[in-house]
Amino acid sequence: MLPHPMIEYVVVHDLVHLIEPNHSNQFWDRVERIVPDYLERKRWLAENGASYNL
């Protein structure tokens, strides 16, 4: 179970892929409009996500 802010980031990330299929600048711009602190959440997930039983 991830913390709610991380779940929100993952859901937004996946939903934006419905519009932008790759990790282009446009993709990250769209993510940032919805989750302004996405870089912090992305970093947290990279550092801590593997330690969670998903």
Q: What is the pLDDT of residues 18-48, one digit of tens each?
A: 999 999 999 999 999 999 999 999 999 999 9
Round to whole Å and give the CA distance between 54 and 18. Answer: 23
Q: How many domains does the chain have?
A: 1
> Which pLDDT belongs to residue 53?
61
Which residues have CB under 8 Å from 1's CB, separation 6+? 52, 53
The reported pTM is 0.88
User: What pLDDT, on the 0 to 100 scale, is given for residue 36?
Assistant: 98
Coil vs helix vs strand at 21: coil
State which residues form the domain around 9: 4-51
Confidence of residue 52 (pLDDT cuts 50, 70, 90): confident
